[in-house]
Amino acid sequence: MKFATWNVNSIRTRVDRVIAFLERSEVDVLAMQEIKCTPEQFPIEPFTAAGYEVAIHGLNQWNGVAIASRLPIVKVQDHFADQPGFGEPKVVEARALGVTLRGENEKETCIWSLYVPNGRELDHPHYAYKLDWLRKLRSDAQSWLAADPKARIAMVGDWNVAPFDEDVWDMSAFDGATHVSEPERQAFFAFAEDGWTEVTRDRVTNYTFWDYQRLRFPKNEGMRIDFVYASPALAPSVSAAQIDRNERKGKGASDHVPVIITLKD
């Protein structure tokens, strides 16, 4: 089984590139973030034609997550249990989507497509919301493992956190900014304390995001903010990881690139 995560930054704008990636990479499951559309607006026909079933969670032209799968989807969750809201009145945004898949060997694997809040600025309410979002996700993730220590679960997506200094091109450019603050990094690392393993770090080195502004991509001034956390039962099955940097090239590219995981069973 091979799965990938990709912040596509508008699926309606980039559907042709996404389908081409699926056909080229032979990925079985693709978790997408920032689809920027409702289920009714999602361009589902090309996915169906390519042999994928799609679960979609989008409320408007912002945020939104989806998962395309060649494996049977047996369960869909459009938020995690304690997912907090933002704004007044508070709205539980379309930032999390979990699907349970049944493989050929009848093993079930749950994949969560996550679009963690950006945080905006350190003194912005969105930053407090981001930290609360990650705390609540961790609490729910703890409950998943407590209920079934053998559960095969992957939490994948755009975490909007650069855990290490090496994950940004220049730490001085992030002085007083989000993504690299200590509370954000602690919130990210907390999952490892509970037994989750980030399975890309030891297998591949590259950035996963380059801003459209200031020629960031040609200068390779990027960030590594897209990750895959695997449960204790799933992590040993990971045999390879890849960051497809080439997807940032050419016309109509997303500002993120796919992160691909291969499982040996």
- Residue 220 is labelled as binding a ligand: no
Under 8 Å between Cβ of 153 and 178: no
| Residues recognised as catalytic | 115, 158, 256
- Residue 246 is labelled as binding a ligand: no
> Which residue is listed with tokens 């509970």?
194
- Residue 140 is labelled as binding a ligand: no
- Residue 226 is labelled as binding a ligand: no
- In angstroms, the first-to-last Cα distance of the chain is 7
d(Cα 137, Cα 131) in Å, to the nearest integer?
10
| Interstrand relation of 73-77 and 153-158 (parallel, antiparallel or unpaired) | unpaired
- Residue 265 is labelled as binding a ligand: no
Residues 6+ apart with CB under 8 A from 183: 131
Nearest by Cα to 222 from 186, 190, 247: 247
Annotated binding site for Mg(2+): 7, 34, 158, 160, 255-256
Annotated binding residues, written as ranges, equal 7, 34, 158, 160, 255-256
